[in-house]
Amino acid sequence: MTKPAVLQNVRIIDPSRDLDEVGAIVIVDGKIAAAGAGALNQGLPADAALRDGTGLVAVPGLVDARVHIGEPGGEHRETIASASRAAAAGGVTSMIMMPDTDPVIDDIALVEFVKKTAHDKATVRVYPAGAITKGLAGEEMTEIGLLKEAGAVAFTDGSRSLRDTQVLRRVMTYGREFGAVIACETRDRYLGASGVMNEGLFASWLGLGGIPKEAELIPLERDLRVAGLTHGHYHAAMISVPESVEAINLARQRGAQVTCGISINNLSLNENDIGEYRTFFKLYPPLRGEDDRVAMVQALAKGEIDIIVSSHNPQDVDTKRLPFAEAADGAVGLETMLSAALRLYHSGEVSLMRLIDAMSTRPARIFDLPAGTLQPGAAADICLIDLEHPWIVAKDMLLSRSKNTPFEDARFSGRCVSTYVGGVLVHDLD
């Protein structure tokens, strides 16, 4: 049991209760005892540790639904322990770990390994996602029911789309029976196979192969039809173009159970940031044009896009310091997701309530995680934010083992200053 604690004079934003008010948060035995303007009406708990949060915003700990971690098999890129430290620094208290490890998380033993390692070494909550198909080969379906019972909170083949539509139908049908979320990245294997960035004039100028919007849209529309056929819960893991939003809205109108996410990179960067072949900006989905980026921000603000993910995908020097076309996709993002998202708040494009909803409350609801709320009785997973804190991203300050951030030398206003998990302070900027 931890000593009771009280965060006083904080602005509390809790999308789960549509709450935005100045008050206090009372933490007892690792849980929220009260949170709001009237939290101290019953007085202070005996021996409570007091913290004055004047000028700070308290939100439910962030939930990152798409985090790639090297362990097991690629510990030189990232371990569960190092990813958890990076997550805590970014205000992320719960994260869903992708199954594309070595070996793949496609059986109960690997789910148990992740859970035990996280319990022993992680400072935040780590939830494993199970593979949809064995070895991510796209052929033989995994034991979805047993994996879910063991602790897998979602099912995905990571960065691989399912090519076989019949396999997808079976997966969606079984997923429905077990209440499982099937999360897919829509990436056509052939269309734009030689592409390395967004198809368009800028790619032509750079002499690089392009990836058209249709490489995302065509497999997405197929998946949405299968979701409607099976009545399972389909989650489009990362979309990047407004045409995908339109397709998802149409599927919802037809009655399909569909949710979707977007990488913070596609909300805050565009193809021009690639500049002179800067490989830290080689991502998937690729950075799109500015018009697409603006349209996706608007869709997020309206709630048509459900959640924001960091798409944390650590890569080492050997895979990034190569010619652009040969470099691996991916960037680290756990530590910068919040600050990059706050750019949208400072610009007036997205409300703070909607941003926190997209990074905490709604992902917790979609994947049925005990997180995303500050209501009494919930675990005291809290992120304290200074909305005006100025800082510059430097690689040597990142806690991730890999340093491939597209935000190197970026200037941010706003940062997580403290993170609590179960009432325990796991990160403090001071």
Q: Tell me which H or E stretch contains 261.
A: strand 257-263
| Collapsed DSSP state (helix, strand, coil) of residue 10 | strand
pLDDT of residue 36: 96
* Distance between CA atoms of residues 291 and 297, nearest Å: 10
Q: φ and ψ at 270, to 5 degrees?
A: -135, 180
Strands (E), 267-374: 307-309
In this prediction, the residues of the chain whose per-residue pLDDT falls under 50 are none
Q: Which of 397, 344, 301, 307 is nearest to 62 (CA)?
A: 307
Lookup: tokens for 96: 């869903």
Contact yes or no for 101/70 (Cβ under 8 A): yes
The model's pLDDT over 109-126, given as tens digits with 9 standing for 90+, comes to 999 999 999 999 999 999
* Distance between CA atoms of residues 193 and 105, nearest Å: 26
* Distance between CA atoms of residues 68 and 424, nearest Å: 25
| Collapsed DSSP state (helix, strand, coil) of residue 286 | coil
Q: φ and ψ at 276, to 5 degrees?
A: -95, 70
Lookup: tokens for 180: 């499982």
State the pTM of this model. Answer: 0.97
Q: Tell me which H or E stretch contains 178.
A: helix 165-178
pLDDT of residue 1: 59
Rg (CA), the chain: 21
Lookup: tokens for 261: 């996410």
pLDDT of residue 319: 93
pLDDT of residue 272: 97
DSSP 194-251: T--EESSHHHHHHT--EE-THHHHHHHHHHHHHHHHHT-EEEE----SHHHHHHHHHH
pLDDT of residue 42: 84
* Distance between CA atoms of residues 138 and 130, nearest Å: 13
The structural domains of the chain, ordered by start, are: 5-58+380-428 (2.30.40.10), 61-366 (3.20.20.140)
pLDDT of residue 46: 86
Name residue 411's amino acid: R
Contact yes or no for 56/72 (Cβ under 8 A): no
Q: Tell me which H or E stretch contains 267.
A: helix 264-268
Beta bridge partners of 411: 392
